[in-house]
Structure 1
Amino acid sequence: MPELQMPEGVHVHSAQSPEAIGEMLAEQVAEHLRLRLSEAALATLVVSGGSTPLPFFRALRGKTLEWGRVLIALADERWVPETDAASNAALVKKELLQAEAAQARLVLFHYSDKDASEAMPELEAAATELTDPVDVLVLGMGNDGHTASLFPDAPELNQAMDRHGHQQVMVMTPPSQANQRVTLTLPVLMRARFKMLHLKGQDKISTLARAAEAPADWSAMPIRAFLQAGLHIYWSP
């Protein structure tokens, strides 16, 4: 793995393959969920979509957990029906909610019969089902430095990144993206008890290195807001 200069307290873990890092990440997530379930009635896991988490999902679904007491939500979702190949919810159902893990409850952030902006009451109600704080958060990152649906070109970015804001969910309309997006806001994501960033490929290392050069400038690369002590980064080629 290339040398990375991360802020103090940011931990970087690497492995030789996506499957190996997926297993490592899954074991850590399962361990944190088990610990929380020993103390509380429910535990919440927030995950991200895309192709990178597939080995992680496949490893996690085989872990021994009281899955019936786990709530799973997505950090963000495209405003498309589950029949669309771009649906993150469909991906999670297919790849994670299988076997024993099918007992977990998925909190959805999409209502196909409405425009996203019209569905805000339902979206906020769904967000209140999650434990506060979220117990485990697994983020991804794009090569533009976005994470969740906190895109640099989204006109709603400042509001979604307001650390003192009260909205838990926001509709995002970045011109760079084909669909409207729904995202958990920065305050919700930052309050998570355990935060992880799951990456794959040399291009993501280059993006992360650029982000670390100016960690305060989150408007250009929103992932910078998360490069703080306590973050665990999991990377494979």
Structure 2
Amino acid sequence: MFKLLEFKDNQTSAKELSKTLSALLKEKLQKQALVRLALSGGRSPISFFEFFQKENLEWQKVHFSLVDERITPKDSENSNENLLKSYFFKDALSKPNFTPLLENLANFDEVDENKLLHFANSKFIQPDFALLGMGSDGHSASLFFDAPEFQKAIKSEQNIVFLSPKKAPFKRLSMSLKALEACKKLFLFISGEEKIKTLEKALLKEDESLPISLILHSKKVQLYVYFSR
């Protein structure tokens, strides 16, 4: 199930998403002591982070996690955790309530998939909401169709899965399709003609070669698509 919301530009889309998500979190905090939000990394959500960090929220009552993570050192510019620290976790959010997907590793040349998954799944707490991005190839989170582990990832009962995409750098940890569908609501934030063309294809039908379509057409969760050309 999906709802499309188109805006004139990226900044307007980011601002409106920030206001909507902020209001949603405030509403939930009237009913529960803590609300859980999973965030995506990459460059796409940076404009959203700039607006969202300025919202008037009780940030200590918001628990953050990651939708996915690249298996790199935490201080790497390619780390999603590091991106959050650089662009979002500052000022009022300088000491966030945050659980990483990746533990500190001494040797990234010899990563143990099972140990990574054990750590991530043992720390996992189901988010209420999640912010997604999408690549021009139709992947979302780190659910890459070309990864050998893709079929396992979309059918897994685990909350966090391991993928090694062939056409994208880095091995990844990602929320599984099951975990994404267990969220109360999902939000997709994208912009640009190339990604819009991919979105339009994915809107037509469920197609595993376009992983975002599995979420768009899911009957288990509502996806709100914030986009601009």
Same fold (TM over 0.5): yes
1:55 aligns with 2:44: no
Q: Select which of 81, 90, 100 maps to 1:98.
A: 90
Q: Which residue of 1 aligns with 2:189?
A: 198
Give 1:159 deviation, angstroms: 1.4
Q: Select which of 149, 161, 172 maps to 1:170.
A: 161
Q: Select which of 195, 208, 213 maps to 1:224.
A: 213
Q: Which amino acid aligns with 1:124?
A: N
> Secondary structure of 1:161's match?
helix
Q: Which residue of 1 aligns with 2:142?
A: 149
Q: Which residue of 1 aligns with 2:177?
A: 186
Q: Which residue of 2 aligns with 1:123?
A: 120
Deviations 1:149-187 (A, max 9, x none): 00011111111111xx32111111111122110001111
Q: Which amino acid aligns with 2:30?
A: S
Give 1:24 deviation, angstroms: 0.4
Unaligned runs of 5+ in 2: none
Alpha-carbon separation, structure 2, partners of 1:48 and 1:78:
11
* RMSD (CA atoms): 1.5
Q: Which residue of 2 aligns with 1:68?
A: 60
Q: Select which of 99, 112, 129 maps to 1:107.
A: 99
1:69–1:104 Cα contact (<8 Å) kept: no
Q: In the superposition, relative to structure 1, how do residues 150 and 116 fare at CA in structure 2: closer, same or farther (>3 Å)?
A: farther
1:109–1:182 Cα contact (<8 Å) kept: yes
Q: Which amino acid aligns with 2:141?
A: A
Alpha-carbon separation, structure 1, partners of 2:112 and 2:78:
16
Alpha-carbon separation, structure 1, partners of 2:47 and 2:97:
20
Give 1:116 deviation, angstroms: 4.8
> Secondary structure of 1:72's match?
strand
Identity of aligned residues (%): 28
Q: Select which of 200, 215, 218 maps to 1:209.
A: 200
Alpha-carbon separation, structure 2, partners of 1:208 and 1:17:
17
Q: Which residue of 2 aligns with 1:15?
A: 7
Alpha-carbon separation, structure 2, partners of 1:103 and 1:69:
12
Give 1:100 deviation, angstroms: 1.6
1:116–1:171 Cα contact (<8 Å) kept: no
> Secondary structure of 2:42's match?
coil
Give 1:213 deviation, angstroms: 2.5
Alpha-carbon separation, structure 2, partners of 1:213 and 1:113:
45
1:79–1:181 Cα contact (<8 Å) kept: yes
Deviations 1:77-106 (A, max 9, x none): 100112211111111111111222334312
Matched pairs, number: 221
Unaligned runs of 5+ in 1: 1-8
Q: Which amino acid aligns with 1:153?
A: D
Q: Which residue of 2 aligns with 1:40?
A: 32
> Secondary structure of 1:19's match?
helix
Alpha-carbon separation, structure 1, partners of 2:51 and 2:188:
17
1:234 aligns with 2:214: no
Q: Which amino acid aligns with 2:34?
A: L
